[in-house]
Amino acid sequence: MIDLKLLQKDFQSVSAKLIRKGVSTELLEELKAKNEELKVAKVAYETLQAAQNAMSKEFGVYKREGKDIAELKARVDENKVKVAEAIEVQRTATEALESLAMAVPNMPDDSVPDGKDEEDNIELKKVLTPKEFSFPPKEHWELAEQNGWIDFERGVKLATSRFSVSFGMGARLERALINFMLDFNRSRGFDEVSVPALVNRTALEGTGQLPKFEDDLYKMDGQELFLIPTAEVPVTNLYQDEILAEDELPKKMTAYTSCFRKEAGAAGRDTRGMIRQHQFHKVELVAIVKPEESEKIFEEMVTCASDILTALELPHRLVNLCTGDLGFGAAYTTDIEVWLPGQATYREISSISNTRDFQARRAKIRYKDGKKNSFVNTLNGSSLAVGRTLVAIMENNQNEDGSIDIPEVLKPYLGM
């Protein structure tokens, strides 16, 4: 959640940043109106409370002077009713502002470039040079079917479109990639955790998937439980509504989970293959840190994910997302895009984001900063999407006869 105190103090500055992220003027006007209502309610309450305090002091004076307190008591009792009413008006105004603010995205950092969509993202650097093939490289679904690694038709038979079944070496490679990624992340100081695949509404509100993205989530009938769209949700919310000791930070974690997304906004996109599935495996990085540490640890996370791809000998590039492509909760994001020769393009395989204190405010994650409690910063990123990594291995390591070479770093995980 955006900082409501900052909103009240400097509405113009906050709204200017939100406009950069595409927030409508209608929503901003509504936010301004709710903010003004709360200001008025606070002033009314403070005025009445000040009067109450003044009258309370008069009691002592009246008693010392032997005055009749009946009329003063009547005024105090009448004002008490007004104070109680003012408290309720202020509570209602606060809830209305907070409810509206839950649908407002994070403010982008000043360093984020302006832009409309992914076409306006800025390439930071390329890592490794794509291989030149002496034959037309095939796309991953052709290779998967030829090698018997992935069966898309049986996935549809078991569920519906955008599901698949892995067989033999395809299934073994997925498992090898998961173990390799977890081991790699642990070597970089990220502690492994295992979390539920179902979470409650509060957890999804904490990390910003709700209320805005409910249509993209799978919900359990009759229960306020949802299948997770990413391990970011349960791992970040491990510390929901807690006050951490300063010496506990930073908390750097990695987790493997299956992820579930309806892909409600992806109709007609990537309908073939494994690029956009309803269920997929992913290894995630999450960090909970003091604000002054967040930029340093962000760079550690980007480097960690990039180095996994380098170890797998997969060409990739780092991209700075513009305001129009920035996620709901992110203050800034670096995407990592892997080269897919079958498509002759780079495709996203990881998004690493610093949300600053946006998620911490929603999830109430704080730390003891000297004598006061302060909000932490939270960071998250894929390290990596397993299916897309498998796709990249197939396309980059293919031979003319359709066979696929196994990356050296994965061979120990396969008993090779």
Residue 374 assigned as binding residue: no
pLDDT band at 264 (very low <50, low <70, confident <90, very high): low
Q: Is 351 a catalytic residue?
A: yes
pLDDT at 393 (0 to 100): 98
CATH of domain 118-414: 3.30.930.10
263: left (phi over 0), alpha (psi -120 to 50) or beta: left
Q: Which of 166, 351, 353, 383 is catalytic?
A: 351
| H-helix or E-strand spanning residue 140 | helix 140-147
Mean pLDDT of the chain: 95
Residue 349 assigned as binding residue: yes
* Segments making up each domain of the chain, as ranges: 4-101, 118-414
**CA-based nearest residue to 163, from 30, 47, 281:** 281
pLDDT at 134 (0 to 100): 97
Over residues 380-409, mean pLDDT: 98
Give me the phi and psi of 389, to 5 degrees please.
-65, -40
pLDDT band at 62 (very low <50, low <70, confident <90, very high): confident
Q: Which of 20, 261, 361, 366 is catalytic?
A: 261
Q: Which of 172, 175, 188, 276 is catalytic?
A: 276
Q: Is 75 a catalytic residue?
A: no
Q: Is 388 a catalytic residue?
A: yes
Q: Is 188 a catalytic residue?
A: no
Distance CA 297, CA 356 (A): 12
Residue 337 assigned as binding residue: no
CATH fold group of domain 4-101: Helix Hairpins (1.10.287)
Whether 177 shows a pLDDT value over 80: the answer reads yes
Distance CA 229, CA 260 (A): 5
- pTM (whole model) above 0.85: yes
Query: Per the structure block, which two tokens stand in for 47?
Result: 């005025």
